[in-house]
Amino acid sequence: MKKIVLGALALTLLSSFVLSAQTAVESGKQLFGDLSARHIGPALMSGRINDMEVHPTNSRVIYTGTAGGGVWKSSDAGTTFTPIFDEYCQSIGAVSLDPNDPDNTIYVGTGETWPRNSVSVGDGLYKSVDGGANWKKLGFEKSERISNVIVNPKNSMEVYVGVLGALWGDSEERGVYKTTDGGTTWEKLLYVNQKTGCADLVMDPNDPNTLYASMWEFRRTGWSFESGGANSALYKSTDGGKTWNKIHKGFPEGKLGRLGVAIAPSNSQVLYTVIEAEKDERKGLYRSNDAGASWEQLNNDFGITVRPFYFSRIVVDPRDENVIVKGGLNGSISRDGGKTFKNLGQMHSDIHDIAFSIKDSDIMYVGTDGGVYRSWDGGTTMEIVENLPLSQFYHISVDDAEPYNVYGGLQDNGSWYGPSSSPGGVQARDWNSVGYGDGFRVLKHPTKNIIYSEMQGAANVWRYDVERNLTKTIQPLATEGDPKLRFNWNPPMAVSAHKPDRFYMGSQFVHRSEDMGDTWEIISPDLTTNDPAKQAQEDSGGLSIDNSGAENHTTVFSIVESPLDENVIWVGTDDGNVQVSQDGGKTWTNTVANIQGLPANTWCYQIEASVFDKGTAYAVFDGHTMNDMNPYAYKTTDFGKTWTNIISDDVVGFARTIQEDYENPDLLFLGTEFGLYITLDGGKEWKKFTNNMPSVAVHAIEMHKATNDLVMGTHGRGVIILDDISPLRELSEEVMGKKVHFFKSQPTEMVESSGFSGSFGGETQFVGQNKTRSAQIKYYLSKRHTFGKMTMEIQDMQGNKIVELGPGKSKGINIVNWAYTRKQPKVAKGKTLSFDGFTSPRVAAGTYKVVMKKGKDIYEHEFDLVYDKKSLLSDADRDLKNATTSKLYDMTQELAYMVYEVDEMLAKADTKSAKKLKTLKETLVITTGDNYVGSAEPQLREKMTALFSKVAASYDKPSSSEMKNLTVVQNRFEKAKADFAKLKKKYKSKEPLAVKSFDEFLDSN
């Protein structure tokens, strides 16, 4: 007996233990539930592509590895693409298929390999053996950039990997690697030094033991770039990588830079290399006709030599050794073996990779800074892939329109704004261009219909009068006595919450204008370190000078005026200062020395001024340009006198941006290189948010105050929005300890806007998801519901059922949408469908309750619906509309019952009665024809439901025309009822009737 009791006790303890184990929340996936991000693009300008890959035997299958937006697969020959790598690092160097198993085995080397200033970083090599459904990391964590992955076409176990390696610092993880066991173990075959990596690797398709590798010495800092050195070289191995020899016969003298290399698939003797050299006249394309034993220079046109670090890809037509294509500003194609070139057809500039279709060399796929293009005529005419939303935002802002607009600037793709929701979804045509060049900050004037935008280095800062379609440039100019103004490539701008016409910009100084940029005043000393060693940009580039302005340094990078006090201004600089003024710019204090644990001169990427207290601010630092990949974020509550670390070990990837919630000071959002993190406790613990949120670099976050939407500018996947984060404000230990917790909700406005969204020709375009307009029932479940019944219904306050809904069952946050409509009326059975009968009328405004049954437990929650605030209807109008709709709803159901009765009687009627019933029925419903052009003449059902649908779907009260039509329908129905009553009296049946009651009929199918 004792044992049994103890056993039972053990079981109780056990089950409570199991319960607590299952209710504990350890990861974001256990917490965020149905809270899911939506993507709105834009895709019309797409984004940077790093690599193109075609399937070796199926011409429908194409892959692209993108610079910041992951891996995408097309199975319709490049018409549309879908993402297959969202959970992992989105910066891609190389995508390769195993030629022996191309349907299933895919390798992805992460880390883009055209290392401009704004490049992201990779985190290793991945492999899928099921066509991209699941991925496994094979190591190379510190590789940062993988340039090539090549599988031996005769042996799947043998794979070569070219690692370009770290851009911003020394690293030993670079060179050429090989596995002979399918990726379990790796051997480093070719390594030069900590500064030189493998920029290109090719295998002779006819002899897998012959390999060519170009090694490149390169380094970038926040203020300079250096391409080339004594260690750059082209190597060849003929023994599967055991030994390597330089193949430089005919090469230019002196140091070399980045080399691209390609072999003609149709002739292994023919090789091409493009060489970055010391002397301009010796740069360009070289060809070998003896498998690399000797080389001859063929061409050094601009298109061949331009920016080697950014463009050095050479691709040879698989069917013709003399047709070669070279990446470049426009891309170049030669049909005479490399002697002469012409540009590829018009498309977005900056061509990084090209792939020929396996079937036909007229078909080409080209990866640019603006997406993937297809050609059907050998590269002359290019058409863009329209569903790759790879846009790379640097910054983001929002306005207070309804729906609000999102503003931002893009890498190499100008500045834009577009709506957060739009009829039919957010489409390409919804986006508006508001700036050229590279775009960065775009800010809406707080009160006027004016937009500020800028391009790199503040070469132009535009003030755009949207209504009049007028622009002027307003960038600060040097005045008498000013030193040279140093603007960052990505220069800071800010507006004020206190003075609508105030506008800030930053060079090494803070510039302030009180008249929207017409008049500028410098309100600070040089706030940077002003280190001359970091100001020699005209010498930057190495063997090829590359002074695009992208390396400008010792500049102000972030400016923010406190929303609580216009005299409190925070400034962060790219060389690591955090300055604050409490007197509107008269005096400044550099507070960075008060931050413990932050390496000196770490780039201050963003300062967020608190909405709760003017002495409180958050500073985010990004050290990646000093080869420091750690996240740094700090909080001060005393104007920077002390700073507290708010990063935990949970955060992966360096951070750029933070957003404070407007209501809960402990709720913070952090954007890192690998996605979005959320803390509920002020930074003690962070949880990664992954619901429809790729591991993409989040460069900017803004919260839209009126909707509580979190709007993210990602650098590779466009604008991503997390709608209404308000449930996160309530998540406490106590709430998470409850079995079920309903979150508070604001009254839902039953929006009445209705318009048109014709979208012909949009079949292959990306369309961004809209924000739902439904009422949302949000609750927390401490455990996933799997066993037993769980139901939900909406009731009015008298307990009448309005509608049944399908409840969410996830552990964590659940969201159930209700379009505030009741069930459709029961419609009379005819020969065809009554499409008007599929109208679900809206309920009246008021308080409703949700009743959720979970096993034996019942949970209730009340919520409010209100009419559209923009509606012009009076209460009396509303009453008339609701009453008329209800009347037609009821009539429709009465008619349905009448037809049911007629049918029942018909089935058992004698011939005479049957004839009369049939004649009656033919006036009640359509009894012939089909649902399309074979449709018959409408009868009472059709006229009644047409009016029902018309009245119910209108935003307006019923018109006098509709009311008169109602009389016609009512009279006809009355007559039908009278006729039916007469028929009933005379009715003679062959057998007794068993007719359902009206209520039974309504409950039946």
Partner 1 sequence: MKTVKLLVAMFALAIMVPVQAQTADEIVSSYLENIGGVEKLKALEGLKITAKLNQMGMELPLEIYQMKDGRTTTIISVQGMTIKDQTFDGETYWGSNQMTMQPEKKDAETTENYKLNLNDFPDAFIDYKEKGYTVELIGTETFDGAETFKVKLTKEPHTIDGKEVQDDTFYYFDTENFVPIAMTMEVKSGPGKGMVQKITYSDYQEVDGLYFAFSWTIGAEGQPQSAPLTIESIELNPTADDSLFAFPETATESKN
Q: Which stretch binds partner 1 (CB under 8 A): 518-526, 556-564, 830-838, 876-884?
A: 830-838
Local structure of 46: helix, strand or coil? coil
Query: What minimum distance in Å lies between the beta carbon of 710 and partner 1?
Result: 17
Is there binding between residue 828 and partner 1 (CB under 8 A)?
yes
Is there binding between residue 822 and partner 1 (CB under 8 A)?
yes
Please give the Cα distance from 113 to 367 (Å, whole number): 13
Closer residue to partner 1, CB minimum distance, 3 or 986: 3
Is there binding between residue 429 and partner 1 (CB under 8 A)?
no
Query: What minimum distance in Å lies between the beta carbon of 1005 and partner 1?
Result: 4
Is there binding between residue 803 and partner 1 (CB under 8 A)?
yes
Q: Which of residues 342, 809, 887, 908 is near partner 1 by CB under 8 A?
A: 809
Q: Which stretch binds partner 1 (CB under 8 A): 543-551, 698-706, 811-819, 960-968?
A: 811-819
Name, in order, each residue with C-beta under 8 angstroms of 24's C-beta and a sequence gap of 6 or more: none
Residue 795: which of 727, 873, 875, 858 has the closest Cα?
858
Query: What minimum distance in Å lies between the beta carbon of 159 and partner 1?
Result: 21
Closer residue to partner 1, CB minimum distance, 185 or 824: 824
CA–chain centroid gap for 560, Å, is 26
Is there binding between residue 949 and partner 1 (CB under 8 A)?
no
Residue 625: Cβ within 10 Å count:
21
Is there binding between residue 775 and partner 1 (CB under 8 A)?
no
Please give the Cα distance from 888 to 966 (Å, whole number): 8
Token pair for 926: 């359509």
Q: Which of residues 648-677 bind partner 1 (CB under 8 A)?
A: none
Q: Which of residues 40-69 bind partner 1 (CB under 8 A)?
A: 58, 60
Q: Which of residues 838, 910, 912, 956 is near partner 1 by CB under 8 A?
A: 838
Please give the Cα distance from 713 to 667 (Å, whole number): 19
Q: Which stretch binds partner 1 (CB under 8 A): 28-36, 600-608, 657-665, 987-995?
A: 28-36
Q: Which of residues 877-916 bind partner 1 (CB under 8 A)?
A: 896, 899-900
Closer residue to partner 1, CB minimum distance, 510 or 926: 926
Helix (H) or strand (E) holding 396: strand 393-398
Helices 960-986 and 875-907 pack at an angle, to 10 degrees, of 30
Q: What size, in residues, is the chain?
A: 1005
Size of the site for partner 1 (CB under 8 A): 83
Is there binding between residue 13 and partner 1 (CB under 8 A)?
yes
Closer residue to partner 1, CB minimum distance, 655 or 816: 816
Name, in order, each residue with C-beta under 8 angstroms of 621's C-beta and a sequence gap of 6 or more: 576, 598, 602, 603, 604, 605, 632, 633, 634, 655
Is there binding between residue 101 and partner 1 (CB under 8 A)?
no
Please give the Cα distance from 511 to 478 (Å, whole number): 11
Please give the Cα distance from 906 to 877 (Å, whole number): 43
Q: Which of residues 758, 761, 799, 934 is near partner 1 by CB under 8 A?
A: 934
Is there binding between residue 14 and partner 1 (CB under 8 A)?
yes
Cβ–Cβ under 8 Å, residues 374 and 365? yes
Residue 595: which of 634, 568, 558 has the closest Cα?
634
Query: What minimum distance in Å lies between the beta carbon of 483 and partner 1?
Result: 51
Query: What minimum distance in Å lies between the beta carbon of 85 and partner 1?
Result: 13
Closer residue to partner 1, CB minimum distance, 302 or 835: 835
Q: Which of residues 185, 206, 596, 824 is near partner 1 by CB under 8 A?
A: 824
| Lookup result for tokens 């609508």 | 500
Token pair for 225: 């770039």
Is there binding between residue 142 and partner 1 (CB under 8 A)?
no
Closer residue to partner 1, CB minimum distance, 523 or 953: 953
CA distance readout (Å), 190 to 122, 197, 208, 240, 650: 21, 9, 17, 11, 36
Cβ–Cβ under 8 Å, residues 437 and 461? no
How do strand 224-227 and strand 541-542 relate by DSSP bridges? parallel
Token pair for 779: 């609750």
Cβ–Cβ under 8 Å, residues 396 and 704? no
Is there binding between residue 821 and partner 1 (CB under 8 A)?
yes
Q: Which of residues 151-170 bind partner 1 (CB under 8 A)?
A: none
Cβ–Cβ under 8 Å, residues 215 and 247? no
Please give the Cα distance from 127 to 135 (Å, whole number): 6
Is there binding between residue 832 and partner 1 (CB under 8 A)?
yes
Closer residue to partner 1, CB minimum distance, 36 or 547: 36
Is there binding between residue 99 and partner 1 (CB under 8 A)?
no
Residue 453: which of 1004, 838, 445 has the closest Cα?
445
Closer residue to partner 1, CB minimum distance, 81 or 603: 81
Closer residue to partner 1, CB minimum distance, 73 or 463: 73
Backbone dihedral angles phi then psi of residue 307, each to the nearest 5 degrees: 35, 70
How do strand 245-246 and strand 256-264 relate by DSSP bridges? unpaired
Is there binding between residue 745 and partner 1 (CB under 8 A)?
no
Is there binding between residue 631 and partner 1 (CB under 8 A)?
no
Local structure of 290: helix, strand or coil? coil
Query: What minimum distance in Å lies between the beta carbon of 489 and partner 1?
Result: 34
Q: Which of residues 522, 790, 844, 936 is near partner 1 by CB under 8 A?
A: 790
Residue 481: Cβ within 10 Å count:
5
Is there binding between residue 533 and partner 1 (CB under 8 A)?
no
Q: Which of residues 495-524 bind partner 1 (CB under 8 A)?
A: none
Is there binding between residue 953 and partner 1 (CB under 8 A)?
no
Is there binding between residue 924 and partner 1 (CB under 8 A)?
no
Please give the Cα distance from 874 to 886 (Å, whole number): 18
Closer residue to partner 1, CB minimum distance, 30 or 923: 30
Token pair for 913: 């009665």
Is there binding between residue 857 and partner 1 (CB under 8 A)?
no
Q: Which of residues 279-338 bind partner 1 (CB under 8 A)?
A: none
Q: Which of residues 231, 473, 692, 745 is near partner 1 by CB under 8 A?
A: 692
Token pair for 849: 């309750």
Residue 653: which of 684, 689, 698, 618 has the closest Cα?
698
Is there binding between residue 17 and partner 1 (CB under 8 A)?
yes
DSSP state, residue 483: -
Query: What minimum distance in Å lies between the beta carbon of 354 and partner 1?
Result: 23
Q: Which of residues 786, 911, 961, 997 is near partner 1 by CB under 8 A?
A: 786
CA distance readout (Å), 485 to 472, 481, 491, 614, 827: 20, 11, 12, 30, 74
Is there binding between residue 130 and partner 1 (CB under 8 A)?
yes
CA distance readout (Å), 296 to 285, 331, 543: 8, 22, 21
Is there binding between residue 754 and partner 1 (CB under 8 A)?
no
Q: Which of residues 590, 817, 886, 923 is near partner 1 by CB under 8 A?
A: 817
Is there binding between residue 1 and partner 1 (CB under 8 A)?
no
How do strand 655-660 and strand 668-672 relate by DSSP bridges? antiparallel
Please give the Cα distance from 47 to 92 (Å, whole number): 13
Is there binding between residue 133 and partner 1 (CB under 8 A)?
yes
Query: What minimum distance in Å lies between the beta carbon of 75 and partner 1?
Result: 6
Q: Which of residues 187, 280, 638, 804 is near partner 1 by CB under 8 A?
A: 804
Is there binding between residue 4 and partner 1 (CB under 8 A)?
no
Query: What minimum distance in Å lies between the beta carbon of 791 and partner 1?
Result: 8
Helices 940-953 and 960-986 pack at an angle, to 10 degrees, of 150
Backbone dihedral angles phi then psi of residue 658, each to the nearest 5 degrees: -135, 150
Binding mask 78-97 for partner 1 (x = CB under 8 A): --xxx---------------
Q: Which stretch binds partner 1 (CB under 8 A): 190-198, 233-241, 804-812, 981-989?
A: 804-812
Q: Which stretch binds partner 1 (CB under 8 A): 21-29, 247-255, 342-350, 635-643?
A: 21-29
